[in-house]
A and B are shown apart, each in its own frame.
Chain A
Amino acid sequence: MLWLLAAESRKLIRPLVWGTGLVITGFCLLITWGGANNARAALASPRIPDVCARAVTAPCGQVVTRAHAAARAAASATSLLAQPGEIGHVAAGMFASVPGLLLIAVVAGGHWGGEWGSRTIRQLLSRQGRRSRVLTAKWLTIWAAGVAAMACCWLVLAVAAPVIVAAAGLPAAHVSVWAGLGSSASAIGRASVVLGLFAAVGTAAGVIARGQLATTAITAGTMLLALLLAGMASVGRLSPATFVQAWMDFGTPGYLPTNFWSRFVSGGPPPGELAGLLGMAATGAVAAVVARWRFTADVTV
């Protein structure tokens, strides 16, 4: 099994994988840049009701003061979140939400679905006849690619984000570089579990679709459908997307968003953290059963 894992890991060293990781990291940098700029703009001109902007009255004075204080607080929060220790929340949130899902979908397509498209599945299965091992190795390596990309993203953001907020002119955070490292690491750990779920869906999608593009489409489509369902009051609580939301406990995004997930999930109070974890485990188990069942079929490519 270790030899097989080594072989599968080596297959991941390809432009498709690191290119996609680079794009998502670039996206995170862009989000950070945008968030810092928005915070600066809000600091320069806080949101004040029109009536108070024209009239100088005592009540309006209080409104203006509160608006300035809120803008300062938001700017400070953005600045704090952009510190190397804290910025792990952004990396974790991004990879446990839509950007991470897209990364896993693309990697699953190339790394797994592509085995059928390029017909290398014949070599793979005639070398390694234990199909359950092949499935496990594929799942683990797709997951590992996601976790590695998330770690790289955190590293890049840890270096670049403080520079970005300083360049944007936001107030300094005045905290240690390591502040928030523990909670960031915890968020990264939780996001790794979510990436495991995405990878399980991708592995099942590969066996069903048996092609690169179709695998990517089914992986992304399945979870995006789950996200759509999570917004519906009637069935939302049973959607895998709701389980992810409950497990990650995504909060309301500030100027610097920490996820692309929570804004799509509504429909009452989410289930608890444990329920979220169990829900994800059940979803992963369903994906595993589907994958094993479909993988017993003939390989005719």
Chain B
Amino acid sequence: MDVISCENLTKRFGPAIAVSELDLAVSPGQVYGFLGPNGAGKTTTIRMLLGLIAPSAGQIRLFGRRLPDPRAVAQAGSMIEEPAFYPWMTGRMNLEVLAATGGGCVPGEVDRVLGLVGLGDAARKVKTYSQGMRQRLGIAAAMLGRPPLLIIDEPANGLDPAGIREIRGLLRGLAAEGTTVFLSSHLLAEVEQVCDRVAVIVGGRLVEEGAPAALGAIRRRVRVEVAAADTQAAARLLTRWPARYGNGQFLVEHDSGRDVNGTLLAGGVVAESVTVERPGLEDRFLEITEKEDARAVAAGR
């Protein structure tokens, strides 16, 4: 049974469509990345998963229970966007209140989660916390009570590189213990390093879904610049990979610059430059929309 299952999930705000016909299936124990540029519909989807907003169409099941069943939502620990706390309370008190809100937890649970995120005794009032500390406290709050599902929105926000690595290790550790982690981010590197499976959402629509290495949105490609005289020879040599030519450069859909350069050299072409790059999500989105436009023109629409 899937931990999260969304079918034809759609959310409209007036005439604007925030999420359109989204299908997702997250298996137990996975770290599932939900990738998309800002405004893609990630947070809207998470709000629907947590029952904060109701879908306009489609359905969501958590652990087989169809939302808005509150018993399903109770099994998810969550952190949405920038975590919010009661500023007049200490970090520890905030966690104690949150634990009680959900029906209480075992003694020592607050200490356990504070220790996991490296916040120590959290005896200071939350209003004095830095953004990074709030983020850690938010992740600690999500882990309260050992929920079998963690839904975390942009966990790297406000964390320094060491903190990001620490949280990444923490999430992988939780997944190893059997917790399912649903992680949203707009950072390619973040999901690539931590996720077993990734869904890419752009403009509210699911663009791609699969293992990170297999995704076009994440896959590296090689940009090659050759002298004008060598253009035709290079084009012939590079036919073994999907490649495009424009602005005096080849864009080769392959993740190894070494392979591409070696092929060119073997054919007697010396490249002016070889750069391995990863397209941004916005680039990928533009590519997709260009392809769709071209398809529409070809179909005479």
B-side contacts of A4, CB under 8 Å = 100-101, 103
Do the beta carbons of A6 and B100 come within 8 Å of each other?
yes
| Contact among B53, B88, B104 with A300 in the assembled complex (CB-CB below 8 Å) | B53
1/0 per position for B61-81, CB-CB distance to A under 8 A?
000000011111110101010
28 A-B pairs with CB atoms under 8 Å apart are A3-B100, A3-B102, A4-B100, A7-B100, A11-B86, A14-B86, A14-B88, A118-B86, A119-B82, A120-B86, A123-B84, A123-B85, A123-B98, A124-B101, A125-B50, A126-B50, A126-B51, A126-B73, A126-B80, A127-B98, A127-B102, A129-B51, A298-B47, A298-B52, A299-B52, A299-B53, A300-B47, A300-B53
With A123-B98, A124-B101, A129-B68 given, name 7 new contacts (CB 8 A): A4-B100, A10-B97, A122-B84, A123-B101, A125-B50, A127-B74, A300-B47
Given known pairs A123-B98, A124-B101, A126-B76, the reply for A298 and B53 (CB within 8 Å) is yes
Does more than half of chain B's interface fall in helix, strand or loop, or is it mixed? loop
Task: Considering the complex, give the chain B residue whose CB is closest to the CB of A4.
Answer: B101
B-side contacts of A45, CB under 8 Å = none
List A1-48 residues whose CB lies under 8 Å from chain B: 3-4, 6-7, 10-11, 14-15
Binding site for B on A (CB under 8 A): 3-4, 6-7, 10-11, 14-15, 118-120, 122-130, 298-300
Task: Considering the complex, give the chain A residue whose CB is closest to the CB of B80.
Answer: A122
Task: Considering the complex, give the chain B residue whose CB is closest to the CB of A119.
Answer: B84
CA–CA, A130 and B74, complex, Å: 10
A-side contacts of B102, CB under 8 Å = 3, 127-128
A-side contacts of B89, CB under 8 Å = 11
Is B87 interfacial (CB 8 A cutoff)? Answer: yes
Output the least CB separation between A23 and chain B (Å): 18
Instruction: State how many residues of chain B have any CB contact under 8 Å with chain A.
Output: 34
Output the least CB separation between B161 and chain A (Å): 27
Is B93 interfacial (CB 8 A cutoff)? Answer: yes
CA–CA, A120 and B137, complex, Å: 13
Output the least CB separation between B57 and chain A (Å): 14
| Contact among B70, B76, B87 with A118 in the assembled complex (CB-CB below 8 Å) | B87
CA–CA, A122 and B74, complex, Å: 13
Which of A11, A15, A118, A129 gathers the greatest number of chain B CB atoms within 10 Å?
Answer: A129
Is B133 interfacial (CB 8 A cutoff)? Answer: no
CA–CA, A10 and B98, complex, Å: 11
Is B54 interfacial (CB 8 A cutoff)? Answer: yes
B-side contacts of A129, CB under 8 Å = 51, 68-74
Is B141 interfacial (CB 8 A cutoff)? Answer: yes
CA–CA, A239 and B196, complex, Å: 63
Given known pairs A127-B98, A300-B47, the reply for A10 and B93 (CB within 8 Å) is yes
CA–CA, A198 and B100, complex, Å: 26
A-side contacts of B47, CB under 8 Å = 298-300
Task: Considering the complex, give the chain A residue whose CB is closest to the CB of B68.
Answer: A129
A-side contacts of B51, CB under 8 Å = 125-126, 129
Given known pairs A3-B104, A15-B88, the reply for A123 and B53 (CB within 8 Å) is no
List B176-193 residues whose CB lies under 8 Å from chain A: none
Do the beta carbons of A125 and B86 come within 8 Å of each other?
no
